[in-house]
Amino acid sequence: DEVQRSFSNSLINSQPFPPKKFFRLSLREIDERRILLERYLQSVVPNKSLTSSIYFNEFFLNAQHETFVNEFIERTCPETINLTVYLLNKHEMILENFSPYDNLSKLFHACTNKIQLDDEYYSYFSLFLYEYENNQLNLIRPLFSFEYPYISFEQTKLIHKYSCLVFKKSYWDLNYDLRLLDNRYTR
């Protein structure tokens, strides 16, 4: 409701947000709700003012946490995890002692620290979900600030068995390459 009130003008062309269900959902109903939530997200993600807002991010982080806990109630979630993040050259970085509920910003900064990336280059990079199959990396989608990387990664593995996290450049402008090629950490 807070997101709707704060950004009513920004949501004019978006899908309606699926109403909350008060009773335990069947697997079919969970899948239907997930599809409706995906459609809603796809309609609002292009709006940067909305997706960068605190309300929006907190709402979807809480929703993702709630969904994850409900779906995996029998499975205990570890308190700490180690994440493997790849670069496009297939070099792997092991990031240790993360919580499954650490946000994208924390994982992103761990990656930038691991490769010793200067602050001025942060905006050129991002984290993505990829599928690694037949010795080839295929883009699935970027990770967003309103999701928990570990939970999204675990959910993605249900559909794409060989998925992985990849830290890479996040722009499509070749002019930026000239600037990045001058720095040994950004090549």
Q: Angle at Cα 133 formed by Cα 132 and Cα 137, nearest 5°?
A: 40
If asked whether residues 150 and 111 sit together in one domain, one would say yes
Tokens of 82: 């180690």
If asked whether residues 38 and 89 sit together in one domain, one would say no
If asked whether residues 121 and 165 sit together in one domain, one would say yes
> Which residue, 71, 106, 125, sits at the end of a domain?
71
Residue 111 has pLDDT above 60, yes or no: yes
Residue 186 has pLDDT above 70, yes or no: no
Q: Measuring CA to CA, which residue among 140, 181, 187, 148 is closest to residue 168?
A: 187
Residue 147 has pLDDT above 70, yes or no: yes
Give me the chain's average pLDDT, please.
82
If asked whether residues 86 and 129 sit together in one domain, one would say yes
The number of folded domains in the chain is 2
Show the domain range for 24: 2-71
User: Which of residues 75 and 186 earns the better pLDDT score?
Assistant: 186
Residue 8 has pLDDT above 70, yes or no: no
Assigned domain for 186 exists: no
Q: With bands split at pLDDT 50, 70 and 90, how would you rate the model's confidence at 73?
A: very low
| Least confident segment among 84-88, 98-102, 105-109, 126-130 | 98-102
